[in-house]
Structure 1
Amino acid sequence: MKFLHAKDTISGQEARAYATINGQVEEMFYAKKIEAKAKKTKKGIKTLNKRGTQNKATGWEGTGSLTIYYVTSLFRKMMLEYIKNGKDTYFDLQVVNEDPTSSIGKQTVIIKNVNLDEVTLAAFDVDAEVLEEEISFTFDDADILDEFGKPVLGE
């Protein structure tokens, strides 16, 4: 029976992330976790001779979250630009997963037209060893530039 070698699982620490904001590339060394999800929107359809409701995909929506260490003012400045001047910022996120121990290579995904939902403007916590912040966002497109290969299975 074939099996996946443990070495071919991807370490969460073996990643890189970049934000391209107004043409400038920002290496996101302060990111702790990024998750972007695409979810289909569906419409329930009832038809004759079928008691159950069927579902038809009618679109999709992209949502995500970004957990970062509280060490940059970049996202606060973007939010303040919207608050003060009404200028909203859309940007792209590039996430590269590449674990040198794994045989499957790397995956590079670009999340396009990211728009922030909420940003922590100020924070402190006397009990926290380190400060982190959670930023939610939406997006409307994505591409896979590099995709994982198939792992070499054990026997």
Structure 2
Amino acid sequence: MTFLQAKDTISGQSARAYSTINGKVEEMFYAKKLEGKVKKNKKEIKTLGKNGTQNKANGFTGTGTMTIYYTTSLFRQLMLEYTKLGRDTYFDIQVTNEDPSSTIGPQTTILKNVNLDEITVAAFDVDSEVLEEEVSFTFDDWDMPNAFAAPTLG
């Protein structure tokens, strides 16, 4: 009987993330958590001869959230530029998951044309030891230049 070896699970801390905004690459060392999701858009189709409703995919929607330490003004500056001047910014986020103790190697995913939905413009919390903020976004394309290899089974 084969099984997944524990060493091949990926540590949540074994990642690197970079944003490319207006041609400038920035390491996202302030990020605590990031999740990008793709959801298929589906259209319900009814046909003669079938009582059930069928579904057909007709596109996708990319959404995401990231939790970051309240240590950067970058996203506030992008939102300020939009609210004051009407200039919206679209950028890419590249995430590489690579746990050196695993045999599956790296996976790199690029979220393309990321656009911020909502950011925190000011914050404080007298009960908090560390300030964090939640940033939501959408994206309209993605790529995966590196995929995990199959794990070595035990």
Interval containing the TM-score (normalised by the shorter chain): over 0.9
- Stretches of structure 1 lacking an aligned partner (at least 5 in a row): none
Instruction: Name the Cα RMSD after superposition.
Output: 0.5
Q: What do the CA deviations read for 1:49-85 (whole angstroms, capped 9, x no partner)?
A: 2111100111111000011000000000000000000
Give the whole-Å Cα distance in 2 for the aligned partners of 1:148 and 1:40. 23
Corresponding residue of 1:32: 32
Corresponding residue of 2:94: 94
Q: TM-score, normalised by structure 1?
A: 0.98
**Matched pairs, number:** 154
* Bigger fraction of residues in strand: 1
Corresponding residue of 2:103: 103
Q: Displaced runs of 4+ in structure 1, greater than 4 A?
A: none
Letter in 1 for 2:89: T
The SS at the match of 2:77 is helix
- Stretches of structure 2 lacking an aligned partner (at least 5 in a row): none
Give the whole-Å Cα distance in 2 for the aligned partners of 1:41 and 1:79. 28
Give the whole-Å Cα distance in 1 for the aligned partners of 2:145 and 2:122. 36
* Deviation for aligned residue 1:18: 0.2
Corresponding residue of 2:134: 134
Query: Quick one: percent identity of the two aligned structures?
Result: 73
Letter in 1 for 2:77: K
Letter in 2 for 1:133: E
Give the whole-Å Cα distance in 2 for the aligned partners of 1:48 and 1:128. 60
Corresponding residue of 1:22: 22
The SS at the match of 1:50 is coil
Give the whole-Å Cα distance in 2 for the aligned partners of 1:146 and 1:40. 22
The SS at the match of 1:2 is coil
Give the whole-Å Cα distance in 1 for the aligned partners of 2:48 and 2:126. 62
Corresponding residue of 1:153: 153
Give the whole-Å Cα distance in 2 for the aligned partners of 1:53 and 1:127. 52
Q: 1:119 and 2:119 equivalent? A: yes
Q: TM-score, normalised by structure 2?
A: 0.99
Give the whole-Å Cα distance in 2 for the aligned partners of 1:11 and 1:83. 38
